[in-house]
Structure 1
Amino acid sequence: MTPIIAYLSSGILPAERRRLENQAQGLELPMNDGILYRRSFLGPLLRCVDAEDANYLIREVYEGICGLNAGPRMTVAKLTNAGYYWPGMHLDAVEEIRKCDSCQRHAPNALRPNNELIPVTSAWPFPKWAIYIMVPFPEASGRVKFLIVAIDYFTKWVEAKPVASITTSSINW
């Protein structure tokens, strides 16, 4: 914030002129009191704070006297309504909330898979099959203990065949 305050108070531009001008577009320094503010769209001026104050503010809003233990979006909204701003508010709130032990213990379990699902499509029935060999089961009549299962991707048709051993002759249908 120091180069932006120097630029707004005295108009001094360092070598990184364009970058500094772009960063200072929504900011103002009223009455040269050394406190940097950001203009909000319809609300009051938002006071810019440094990283140390930002962590304190997040902890105070999240788990202070009137702590709400809500998600990062609600925490950032409370901070903005209180009149504070810093770049990366949402990321800092997410990082600080992940450190909360009670929230991690009582959070709901996510039922979504960790990886994105990849759909396997087929244009007509029976061109693609998935074949699974099931682990040995207890031996049944006919000394069969393995199960070979084939599933068609298009129709979800299932074929299963019990076999005594896994050989090429037993897999040929």
Structure 2
Amino acid sequence: MADHLSRLENSNIKELDEVEINDSFSEEQFFAISDLEVPWFADIANFLAANIIPKGLTHQQKKRFINDVKNYFWDDPFLFRRCENQVIRRCVTRSETSKILEHCHSGPTGGHYSGTKTAHKILESGFYWPSLFKDANRYITSCDKFQRTGNISKRDKMPQNYMLLCEIFDVWGIDFMGPFPSSVENKYILVAVD
């Protein structure tokens, strides 16, 4: 295929031959990509995918790392964690957390609840990251609507109506039905309500 494509006739070939390719770089240095985020679970994913243990760990840290990795499994392209209640949740990167927090707190089904309740909604949605509860509490402190709402006071509560108290047999009823076809020699039903 490549040989065939290279032999196709191009009417603009003469114009391309006249343009020289500039091989010089305007900058002599290459800069590292700063926007590339390394997820918090990179070491875990590397261990599960390629059996690579992070360098620089002591013997105890290696044992703890291997013990912690038992709760995770890799299903390309996602990493999942089996939590204490045996529910499987997807591990998310730092860049995804802000959108998840916004949706579970301020979204149409959010409700502007407290940090703990927002964190539980995130867990119910099937997401996980290690600093979930801290991030949820930090997020609600920056939510203007939540801060203005505050706690429910007595003036927000609905008025309660008093129950009507009755003496025994003040309100009672009896219902008598039958005869029905015999069922274990019983033909009638008597219901008494106090």
For residues 46 and 65 of structure 1, the distance between their equivalents in structure 2, rounded to whole angstroms, comes to 22
2:80 maps to a residue whose letter is: Y
1:28 maps to a residue whose letter is: F
Secondary structure at the residue paired with 1:67? coil
Secondary structure at the residue paired with 1:28? strand
Is contact 1:46–1:85 with CA below 8 Å preserved after alignment?
Answer: yes
- Which residue of structure 1 lines up, in the alignment, with residue 71 of structure 2? 26
Aligned Cα root-mean-square deviation (Å): 1.9
Q: CA deviation at 1:25?
A: 3.3
Of 47, 56, 60, 1:7 maps to 47
Distance 1:18 1:42, change over 3 A: closer
Q: Which has the larger radius of gyration?
A: 2
Q: Structure 1, residues 53-86: CA drift from partner, whole Å, max 9, x if none? A: 1111011110012221111111111111111000
Provide the TM-score with structure 2 as the length reference. Answer: 0.50
For residues 42 and 102 of structure 1, the distance between their equivalents in structure 2, rounded to whole angstroms, comes to 33
For these two proteins, the number of residue pairs brought into alignment is 107
- Which residue of structure 1 lines up, in the alignment, with residue 108 of structure 2? 65
Q: Runs ≥4 in structure 1, deviation > 6 angstroms?
A: none
Q: CA deviation at 1:22?
A: 4.2
Sequence identity, in percent? 26
Alignment of 1:87-106 (within 5 A): 87-106=130-149
Is contact 1:5–1:34 with CA below 8 Å preserved after alignment?
Answer: no
Is contact 2:90–2:127 with CA below 8 Å preserved after alignment?
Answer: yes
